[in-house]
Amino acid sequence: MIAWLTGSPQIINNYLMIKTKGGVGYKVMVNDSVLNKIKENEELSLFIFSYIKEDRFELYGFINESDLRLFELLVGVTGCGPKTALGISEAGSKAIIEAVQQAQVSFFAQCPRVGKKLAQKLIIELKNKLGGLKDLDLTPKSAVYNDAKEALLGLGFQENELDNILSQIEVDEMKTAEVIKLALKQLKN
């Protein structure tokens, strides 16, 4: 298993080719933030995650070890393969850890190849490993709640902020317009 590569980088069609001093070239999958930091023909060292299956052998590269460790945690979640994990890792370690700790489903759901169920699964499974400050609310929301939230999202408010405010409002006995008015008042403050 390959754990570390040092060599001369070449960018070819959105992946990286690392040519070692021995003349061997390794195709390494990296996210865009890594690609942007690379200067061709200037020696580069990467931490490597080796993905081996019966029909493929792929290498995924990271500039620092903490990014590699987070990637390994993401891949350890059932349903999150290495390509999906690489897409998520584009957001950066700090943002990912914060999204898990704050149970931000919308953060993960906006990543490529990640739907709402996988986003919830990532939060649930990584919460114990990364620490959770907020519990994930999996209870179904009422139609009034969902309609009000959609309307406020359409006005440009952030989903995290809306979830916070709407959870404080007793929407069960209210009309959608009333919920929106109350939420706007709280958002204004």
Q: What is the CATH number of the domain that holds 31?
A: 2.40.50.140
In terms of domains, do 119 and 162 share one? Answer: no
Task: Give whichever of 16-25, 77-86, 143-152, 156-165 has the largest mean pLDDT.
Answer: 77-86
Higher pLDDT, 121 or 139: 121
Question: What pLDDT, in 10s, does the model give residues 93-126?
Answer: 888 988 888 888 888 988 888 988 999 999 988 8
Look at residue 164 and tell me if it is in a domain. Answer: yes
Decide if pLDDT at 166 tops 90.
no
Look at residue 136 and tell me if it is in a domain. Answer: no
Look at residue 29 and tell me if it is in a domain. Answer: yes
Decide if pLDDT at 6 tops 80.
yes
Two tokens at 128? Answer: 């114990």
Where in the sequence is the domain holding 19, given as residue range(s)?
Answer: 4-62
Question: What pLDDT, in 10s, does the model give residues 9-55?
Answer: 888 877 788 888 888 889 999 988 888 888 766 888 999 999 998 88
pLDDT band at 131, cuts 50/70/90? low
Q: What are phi and psi of 103, to 5 degrees?
A: 55, 50
Higher pLDDT, 133 or 171: 171
Residue 23 to residue 58: CA distance in whole angstroms: 19
pLDDT number for residue 72: 93
Question: What pLDDT, in 10s, does the model give residues 64-93?
Answer: 898 999 999 999 999 999 999 999 999 988
Of the three residues 16, 41, 62, the one that is the final residue of a domain is 62
Two tokens at 27? Answer: 């195709």
pLDDT band at 139, cuts 50/70/90? low
Q: Which residues of 2-26 are buried (b: 16+ CB within 10 A; e: fewer)?
A: eeebebebeeeeeebebeeeeeeeb
| Residue 176's CATH number | 1.10.8
Q: Which whole number is the average pLDDT over 166-183?
A: 81
In terms of domains, do 74 and 122 share one? Answer: yes
pLDDT number for residue 18: 87
Look at residue 49 and tell me if it is in a domain. Answer: yes
In terms of domains, do 80 and 94 share one? Answer: yes
